[in-house]
Amino acid sequence: MSKFIFVTGGVVSSLGKGIAAGALGLILKECGLTVRNQKLDPYLNVDPGTMSPSQHGEVFVTDDGTEADLDLGHYERFTGVPANKYSNFTAGSIYFDVLSKERRGDYLGRTVQIVPHITDYLKQCILSLESDDVDVVISEIGGTVGDIEGLFFLETLRQIAFEKGRENVMFLHVTLIPHLNSSDEIKTKPTQHSVQKLREVGISPDVLVCRTVRHLDDQVKSKISLFCNVPVEAVIEEKDVERSIYEVPFVFLEQNLDKFITNRLNLKYKKPKLVEWKKLIKSLDHVNKHVKIGIIGKYIDLNDSYKSIIESLQHAALANKSSVEIDIVPSEDMENETKRKVLKEYDGILVPGGFGDRGVEGKLESVRFAREKKIPFLGICLGMQCATIEFARNVCKLSDANSTEFNPKTEHPVISLLEEQKKVVNLGGTMRLGAYPCSIQKGSKASEAYNSLNISERHRHRYEFNDEFHELFVKKGMVFSGYSPDKNLIEIIELKDHPWFIGCQFHPEFKSRPIAPHPLFKSFIKASIKNSSNVSSKKKFVNKVKNKKSKK
Ligand code: GLN
């Protein structure tokens, strides 16, 4: 029977609950346990697939094609366990299913209510991960304790704890201990209040993970312990880590969180070794290069819009013994010749995925710059489609070439809708989604990067390269180096006369792990380092992400 750890958050959002839940997953896995992470989101969207990344951060895609919350990315990166459709539920998806049942008449005329119908359904969703092979399910609840929309989630957790017994369920609450500059004091009251909020709904936390900018001394820890009714060894300090979020598991281990949890849930215990992870942290001290990458994107209000791409670049840089500085550059600005000059600053240019025509012309200009100036270029999904359009316009001289997504009437639709997509009416969950195999052409740059001819990558798109243009493109110097095994779909393009120019229809960023960086990113960063003037100039590790959005 599986044990359950429920992760809640208090005081403010953005405390890094996802990172804490992922780090916990890793620790328990290293204790020899089988772990599954899950995210429960209280908003009413059925899934994040149709939500704007500018508001909610990137949409993460799993192997089975679930469009999910970005926290699943943290879980996969920490634990290496592939997430699936049972890893993320939203209030919207639960209401949707319950109301569909009501419409079908499944409730036989009974009154349908939040308690018990919605709570029972949510319980099934949480328990869907329970199995003989899974030792621990870690379910993280989005939002903050006290949110009206999160109430039925907490009620469900309380019921599960009651039914399964407290020896099988524990609650870990992530909270904030603010520091007041004026009085130079650490304040525990907000944490006391958020624990009180939990108690109001019948939940007593077993562990408090305290996010703080200052060290919490024994006195503060004892105070939190006494007032929040949590043993002092379960008051865990999580001070802001300076260099990498992958230091968080070690912060937990130093405070014996592994022992406390396994003991509390009566689980077997093996001392976690984290060999690869220790090497990773050590490698932060041994960088001897520095590289600067520009991501030319349109979702610039939130750096989390490009979370997995940023992570992948950082993993790849470290694997190349390099620091990386990443600028998120508004693609619309690149339509302006003066603003475009910023592109000269980058050792490598990356055009990410996206939807809709805003900023596309700026992306095309950025591709052109990278192609003509021989700057290493990685185009992902829409980025690959832009590389195709730019090539059609400026190399093949098809001046109105476009994707039918942006100009349905173009005479040269080099990117067009997949046949099966033409009938689609609803936008949610209907793209080409999830993992598909891809064959790679021998001798190509892609084969060199992957060191394999058969790969599997995750997709999320409706449009594709239009094969009518295949021959012309090849004649003009494009290499189609990756394709679906039935050869119907183009998955990777590259350029012959360029040091490193690759576009892929899939999203490699979803499969990069800190201890197993993605080969395409690794190769892209390697090429960018080669192109860089900064080689070995900076020995200190810097991992900066700057948003170039102009301040109004
Ligand atoms: N909008 C493009 C499509 O639907 C690209 C999607 C993406 O970049 N994820 O095909």
Q: Is 465 helix (H, G, I), strand (E, B) or coil?
A: strand
> Is the peptide bond prior to 116 cis by the omega test (within 30 degrees of 0)?
yes
Atom 9, ligand 1: which residue's CA is nearest? Answer: 353
Q: How far is residue 26's CA from residue 77's CA, in Å, rounded to a whole number?
A: 9
Q: Is the pLDDT of residue 542 over 80?
A: no
CATH classification at residue 152: 3.40.50.300
Q: Are 222 and 233 in contact (CB under 8 A)?
A: no
Verify that 325 and 235 share a domain, yes or no.
no
- Same-domain check for residues 444 and 489: yes
Nearest residue by C-alpha to atom 5 in ligand 1: 382
Domain limit, last residue, from 213, 246, 280: 280
What value, to the nearest 5°, has the Cα angle with vertex 516 and ends 513 and 520?
90
| CA of 481 relative to ligand 1 center, distance in Å | 20
Last residue of a domain, one of 280, 314, 340: 280
Say whether both 134 and 251 belong to one domain. yes
For the segment 440-449, what is each residue's pLDDT rounded down to a tens digit? 999 999 999 9
Pocket of ligand 1 (CB under 6 A): 353-355, 381-382, 385, 405, 460-463
- The SS3 of residue 255 is coil
**The ligand 1 atom nearest the CA atom of 380:** 8
**Of 412, 459, 507, 518, catalytic:** 507
- More confident: 241 or 177: 177
* pLDDT digit string, tens, across residues 336-376: 999 999 999 999 999 999 999 999 999 999 999 999 999 99
Which residue, judged by its Cα, is nearest atom 7 of ligand 1? 353
- Pair 358, 228 in one domain: no
539 pLDDT higher than 80: no
- pLDDT on residue 254: 96
Is 196 contained in some domain?
yes
Domain identity same for 368 and 253: no
The verdict on residue 425 lying in a domain is: no
Q: How far does residue 463's CA lie from ligand 1's centre (Å)? A: 6
The alpha carbon of 447 and the centre of ligand 1 are apart by a number of angstroms equal to 24
Tell me whether residue 507 is one of the annotated catalytic residues. Answer: yes
pLDDT for the residue numbered 388 = 98
User: Phi first, then psi: what are they for 119, rounded to 5°?
Assistant: -65, -40
pLDDT tens-place string over residues 48-66: 888 888 888 999 999 999 9
Q: What is the per-residue pLDDT for 54?
A: 86
| Helices 189-200/218-228 angle, 10° precision | 20
Active site residue 381: yes
Cβ count within 10 A of residue 213:
11
The pLDDT, as a whole number, for residue 549 is 79
Whole-number mean pLDDT of the chain? 94
Which pLDDT band holds residue 538 (cuts at 50, 70, 90)? Answer: low
Location of structure tokens 């997504």 = 405
Q: Choose the weakest-confidence range: 15-19, 52-56, 246-250, 461-465.
A: 52-56
> For residue 521, what is the enclosing H or E element?
helix 519-531
Question: Per-residue pLDDT averaged across 137-155, rounded?
Answer: 95
Share of the chain above pLDDT 90, in %: 88
List pLDDT tens digits, range 288-309: 999 999 999 999 888 899 999 9
CA gap 443, 165 in Å, rounded: 59
- Split into its structural domains, the chain has a count of 2
Residue 552 lies in a domain: no
- Please give the pLDDT value at position 69: 94
Q: Where in the sequence is the domain holding 529, given as residue range(s)?
A: 288-419+430-547
Does one domain contain both 542 and 513? yes
The answer to whether position 453 is within a domain reads: yes
| Structural domain includes residue 424 | no
Residues 260 and 297 occupy one common structural domain: no
How many whole angstroms from 14 Cα to the centroid of ligand 1? Answer: 28
Question: What pLDDT score does 29 carry?
Answer: 97
Q: What is the CATH number of the domain that holds 415?
A: 3.40.50.880
Ligand 1 atom nearest the C-alpha of 460 is: 9
Say yes or no: 257 and 179 in one domain: yes
What average pLDDT does the segment 482-508 reach?
Answer: 95
- Whole-prediction pTM: 0.94
- Atom 3 of ligand 1, residue of closest alpha carbon: 461
Please compute the mean of the pLDDT values over residues 101-126 and round it to a whole number.
Answer: 95
Distance 378 CA to ligand 1 centre (A): 15
pLDDT-derived band at 167 (thresholds 50, 70, 90) equals: very high
Decide if 502 is inside a domain: yes
Do 328 and 210 sit in the same domain of this protein?
no
* pLDDT tens digits along 447-471: 999 999 999 999 999 999 999 999 9
Task: Work out which ligand 1 atom sits closest to the CA atom of 356.
Answer: 1
Q: Note the pLDDT tens digit of each residue in 78-103.
A: 999 999 999 999 999 999 999 999 99
By CB atoms closer than 10 A (0-12, 13-18, 19+), residue 121 is: middle
Active-site hit among 76, 311, 464, 509: 509
* First and final C-alpha spacing in the chain: 55
Average pLDDT of span 381-387: 98
Supply the pLDDT for residue 516: 97
Asked if residue 323 and residue 203 are part of one domain, the reply reads no
Question: Which pairing describes strands 67-68 and 60-61: parallel, antiparallel, or unpaired?
Answer: antiparallel
Is residue 224 one of the residues assigned to a domain?
A: yes
**Does the pLDDT of residue 123 top 90, yes or no?**
yes
pLDDT value for 429:
72
pLDDT over 80 at 423, yes or no? no
**Residue 17 resides in a domain:** yes
Q: Is the pLDDT of residue 552 over 60?
A: no
Q: Which residue out of 363, 432, 461 has the highest number of ligand 1 atoms within 8 Å of its CB and is therefore the one to mutate? A: 461
> Which atom of ligand 1 sits closest to the CA of residue 431?
4
**Candidate of 305, 463, 489, 509 to mutate for ligand 1, largest count of ligand atoms within 8 Å of Cβ:** 463
User: What SS3 class is residue 290?
Assistant: strand
- Whether residues 334 and 314 share a domain: the answer is yes
Q: How many whole angstroms from 367 Cα to the centroid of ligand 1? A: 17
Confidence of residue 534 (pLDDT cuts 50, 70, 90): low
- Averaged pLDDT, 105-110: 92
Phi, psi of 191 (to 5 degrees): -65, -45
Task: Quickly state the pLDDT bin for 240 (edges 50, 70, 90).
Answer: confident
Q: What six digits make up the tokens of 508? A: 């490699």
pLDDT of residue 540: 65
| 509 included as an active-site residue | yes
Please say which residue of 280, 304, 328 terminates a domain: 280
Q: CA 402, 405, 409, 412: dihedral to nearest 10 degrees?
A: 30
Same domain, 248 and 299: no
Ligand 1 atom nearest to CA at 405: 1
**Residue 526 pLDDT:** 97
Catalytic residue among 381, 386, 438, 504: 381
Q: What pLDDT was estimated at residue 551?
A: 62
Q: Which residue has the higher pLDDT, 545 or 551?
A: 545
Which pLDDT does position 164 carry in this prediction? Answer: 96
Judged against a pLDDT cut of 80, whether residue 239 lies above it is answered with yes
> Residue 384 Cα, ligand 1 centroid: separation in angstroms?
9
